[in-house]
């Protein structure tokens, strides 16, 4: 499996022709395995290719001078972690594997060929970077205005939707092989606070997070608690 998750993600929202699939398969390089907690892309380094996540979870983040870390987005299978690097040529943040991952890449020269010869496919790929930007805005709103329990519930709901899009989640459960410390770095909380919030969600019989697995007991109630709407993920079928 190389680009199947990417194709699933694109086709849930729009058409991908046989010719467009063929060129994507041609430009995506063979996958490689990367161990957990490895720097994949360093802030400021020159980029000549964009990274596609095949399996696992990666995080975009910034390290603070005091040693704290803020994760600004989690990437799941089928996501390009740095497609915007095609135009920017460097990132203003780091990208790290959160779990064991399999990654592929698309050379920027090949992406440039697509922009010149496959404009509709270019729009589809550009669309995914726009969704990334929407996710960043919602995470910013969560960090700034949601309380801790709504913050965590919102992240759980978002990941359920994004993983379900690529066949890796149901309405009631999905794998999430992260630690409570990882969640704390996503949510701007301490691990102790995350532990308390998870306990409260468990006691309310809304969800549990145990042994790298999320189990959701009442998704509608969890969404109401989080004030979650999937509109910013643009999951509706559209035509370009």
Q: What global pTM score does this model have?
A: 0.96
pLDDT digits (tens, 9 = 90+) for 33-67: 999 999 999 999 999 999 999 999 999 999 999 98
Measure the CA–CA gap between 203 and 220, rounded to whole angstroms.
17
Spell out, as residue ranges, where the chain has pLDDT lower than 50. Answer: none
Measure the CA–CA gap between 5 and 11, rounded to whole angstroms.
10
Q: What is the dihedral of CA 66, 34, 42, 23, to 10 degrees?
A: -150
Measure the CA–CA gap between 9 and 131, rounded to whole angstroms.
12
Domain coordinates in residue numbering, the chain: 4-140, 147-233
Measure the CA–CA gap between 165 and 233, rounded to whole angstroms.
10
CATH code reported for the domain at 147-233: 1.10.10.10
Q: For residues 232 and 138, is the Cβ–Cβ distance under 8 A? A: yes
Measure the CA–CA gap between 39 and 232, rounded to whole angstroms.
28
Measure the CA–CA gap between 174 and 23, rounded to whole angstroms.
32
CATH of 4-140, one of 1.10.3720.10, 2.60.40.10, 2.60.120.10, 2.60.40.1170: 2.60.120.10
């Amino acid at each position: 499996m190389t680009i199947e998750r990417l194709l699933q993600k694109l086709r849930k929202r729009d058409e991908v022709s046989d010719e467009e699939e063929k060129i994507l398969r041609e430009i995506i390089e063979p996958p490689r395995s990367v161990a957990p907690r490895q720097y994949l892309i360093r802030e400021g380094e020159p980029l000549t290719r964009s990274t596609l996540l095949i399996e696992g979870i990666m995080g975009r983040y910034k390290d603070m001078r005091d040693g704290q870390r803020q994760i600004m987005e989690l990437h799941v299978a089928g996501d390009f972690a740095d497609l915007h690097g095609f135009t920017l040529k460097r990132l203003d943040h780091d990208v790290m594997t959160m779990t064991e991952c399999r990654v592929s890449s698309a050379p920027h020269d090949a992406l440039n060929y697509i922009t010149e010869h496959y404009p509709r496919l270019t729009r589809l790929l550009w669309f995914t970077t726009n969704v990334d930007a929407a996710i960043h805005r919602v995470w910013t709103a969560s960090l700034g205005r949601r309380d801790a329990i709504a913050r965590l519930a919102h992240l759980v709901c978002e990941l359920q939707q994004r993983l379900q899009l690529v066949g890796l989640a149901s309405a009631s459960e999905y794998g999430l092989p992260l630690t409570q410390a990882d969640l704390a770095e996503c949510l701007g909380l301490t691990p102790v606070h995350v532990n308390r919030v998870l306990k409260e969600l468990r006691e309310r019989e809304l969800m549990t997070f145990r042994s790298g697995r999320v189990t959701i007991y009442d998704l509608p109630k969890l969404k109401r608690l989080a004030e979650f709407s999937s509109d910013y993920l643009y999951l509706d079928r559209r035509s370009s």
